[in-house]
Structure 1
Amino acid sequence: MNNEDYLKDISEIKNLMNKSSRFISLSGLSGILAGVYALIGAAVAFWLVTTYSYGELYLDGWVFRTAMLILFLVALFSVVTGIILTTRKAKKNNEKIWDNSSKRLLLNFLIPLIVGGFYCLIILSQGRYGQTGGLMLIFYGLALVNASKYSIGDIRYLGYTEIILGLIAAAFPGYGFWLWVLGFGMMHIVYGTWMHFKYDRR
């Protein structure tokens, strides 16, 4: 056996170990659609606030409740789309959708996300609306970085981007909404497109 055979065997072993410890069937297309959902939701919420509340939100008002419902629907559609497309990709690649690697991925993603969600609700209940956009970006970014150890490592770059945008939003709360749109909308589309052509089109 020559050196090329040894290198080939080592490469195959490395790939097998990587597949056994990481969930790699995430769909780039689901990232694109999540970004589109976020842009549509943001546009509707912006129209509601500027048309019916003159740019001001009140916790007990119907506009605020509707904006929260829109945010929930954006998250729901993104999750459902991600599950459907990722399941389809996993079946196409003859991979299991629910194994130890996917469980670790989900757990490490959800812990920062759930903590961040409760913290944002606390901030909202105190009427500090300007901080929530930055907090959402920061905790979502942390969730992505935390989960990247058990999935495609490239998602950590999206996580870093979301964290940076969140910190900028925290420093300039007046731009929180637009940075939220940039982070959850445009960055998802850019990342999803990159991942789609890098992995899905193979």
Structure 2
Amino acid sequence: MNTRMIAMTVASVAVMGLAACNNAETTEPATDAMSAEGAMAPATDTAAPAAATGTIVATAQGNSDFSTLVSAVQSAELVDTLNGAGPFTVFAPTNAAFEKVPAATRETLMSPAGKADLTKILTYHVVPGNVTAAALTEQITAGGGSATLTTVEGGTLTARAGADGSVTLTDEKGGTARVVQTDVAATNGVIHAIDTVVMPN
């Protein structure tokens, strides 16, 4: 009897030992997984708010293609306006678009004497509301091939869809710009990049 009891005790201890080992093996990966999630969670939480809290200006500042635009916005003292609640839709000229403007004209516009004209030009690139590419396409379709956009400056831009699906803007002077990138999201609106600076009357 004693021998049987000893054998049963040994067996019980062995089973408990195996169970403890199995629990340890099961628990360790779970802890590692939780640690991995814990390590990734802060990175995700940090990245998401940065994207979520980027205003029109902050988003433009984060894109090297808009560095000239950002300088112009600062010169015209429109940073606070474009950091406002909005929403705004900005047809943002790329650096290459600004390069098409004669250097002398750019210098004049960026000078204190040119501030009023610069402000007029920049606000002509801004439309009230959040007009996504899809919404703009719908407006063009509803308008029978074109849509008239009233800008913050007070003038209008005419948007049309090309045969290749691209969208062009015609300004009040007859100049055209092509939308080269759409739906760059910001917390207070959306940015569409254009390849030419549009001009108001």
TM-score by length of 1: 0.25
Bigger Rg over Cα: 2
Q: Whose strand proportion is higher, 1 or 2?
A: 2
